[in-house]
Structure 1
Amino acid sequence: MKKLVFFLTIALFLTHCSSAQTKPADPSIFAKSYDYVNDFEKILTPSQIKELNDFLKSSEEKTKIKLLVVTTSSINPYTDLTDYSMDLDKYLLSKLKIDTSILIVISKQLRQIQVQGIDKIRAKMSDQEMKDIISTYSIPELKKGDYYKGLQQAAVQLIKKVG
């Protein structure tokens, strides 16, 4: 458990600028379309996906903050969730024209979560505050196995902080 918390702490401190890719993102490893909630790992029920999707959509209409959630069981060919998340964010913007403010990538199988925000929200929320929100609201629920509640509470708090 301590290893998980340690990894999450390290992963949350990394920013877009701190890691450079040596090769460009391979768009064939990412899906062709994305919604607010993308449960590729199948850890949420259809009703949970709909509720979270509806909440994120209405929140974006009110706050202009676009938050996307992606679950994945594999990050191959990547070995690091941070690199995977950064390339996914670049892919969303460049190929699909989806400009996310906050991207949450979670893997139940890998026991990892990565949350990253764009530079413009850092005026309202620091990386440490983002880490604290995940540690306080999401990780306790994830440890219990309640992925929906962990993602829902994290989304509510993140949007509340930057909205």
Structure 2
Amino acid sequence: MKRRTNLFIFLFLVINLLNCKIIKNEEKTASNSSGVTLNSHDFENNDFPKNRREVNDYEAVFNVDEITILTKIIRDFERKTTNQIAIVSISSIGTYTDFDKYAIDLSNYWKVGQKNKDNGLTIVFSKKLRKIRISTGNGTEKILTDQICKAIINQIIIPEFKNGNYYEGVYKGLAELIAKWK
């Protein structure tokens, strides 16, 4: 009888361990998807999602490799300059009616840039809403003026977006912003 009980316990443990491994692999696959699914816990009692990383792809427009490349570029740039960059794709601006205001408020809410330098830049875009905004901190806008940001959007990013190349548009726009910001 004791041997049968031990066998039952052993089989129970093996089945549970296998089940845990399967669940972990499913979670890993889900976390490696190109986007992030938002739920009510992702919002902090307002219209802004929680800041998770440098590239926050809430619209699932990038694949994992693209997110990795953009993140590396941003982190390397921050290490060299202390300037901070966030990229956000989002399908909704909540109760806001003005996309530009939403992008500025999101950047301020997330505190992109160092407080004493105000050296942040946030690229917020929406494939669904067909909108994009580059928000700069006060320290940043001395170099990357509104005119420069609008030119990069109109001449580099939007032409790629019109062809469905969201990664290429953001990648090329980011490269141009960094080149001008140095």
Instruction: Give the TM-score band, short-chain normalised.
Output: 0.7 to 0.9
Number of matched residues?
Answer: 135
Map of 2:10 onto structure 1: none
Map of 1:48 onto structure 2: 66
Identical positions, percent: 35
**Structure 2 regions of 5+ residues with no counterpart?**
1-43
Task: Choose 1 or 2 for highest CA Rg.
Answer: 2
**Structure 1 regions of 5+ residues with no counterpart?**
1-25
Q: Please tell me the residue identity of whatever aligns with 2:142.
A: A
2:136 to 117, 136, 149: 117
Map of 2:99 onto structure 1: 81
TM-score, structure 1 as length reference: 0.76
CA distance in 1, matches of 2:119, 2:141: 14
CA distance in 2, matches of 1:127, 1:83: 14
**Aligned-partner SS, 1:29:** coil
Q: Please tell me the residue identity of whatever aligns with 1:157.
A: E
CA contact (8 A) 2:136 2:144 kept: no
Q: Please tell me the residue identity of whatever aligns with 2:147.
A: Q
**Aligned-partner SS, 1:123:** coil
- Map 1:121-136; keep pairs closer than 5 Å: 121-136=140-155
Alpha-carbon displacement from aligned partner over 1:22-60 (angstroms, at most 9, x marks no partner): xxxx74332233311000001111111111111111111
Q: Kindly indicate whether residue 163 of structure 2 is the aligned counterpart of residue 137 of structure 1.
A: no
CA distance in 1, matches of 2:48, 2:119: 16
Q: Kindly indicate whether residue 87 of structure 2 is the aligned counterpart of residue 66 of structure 1.
A: no
CA contact (8 A) 1:27 1:91 kept: no
**Aligned-partner SS, 1:120:** coil
- Map 1:144-155; keep pairs closer than 5 Å: 144-155=163-174
Quote how far apart the aligned CAs of 1:100 are: 5.9
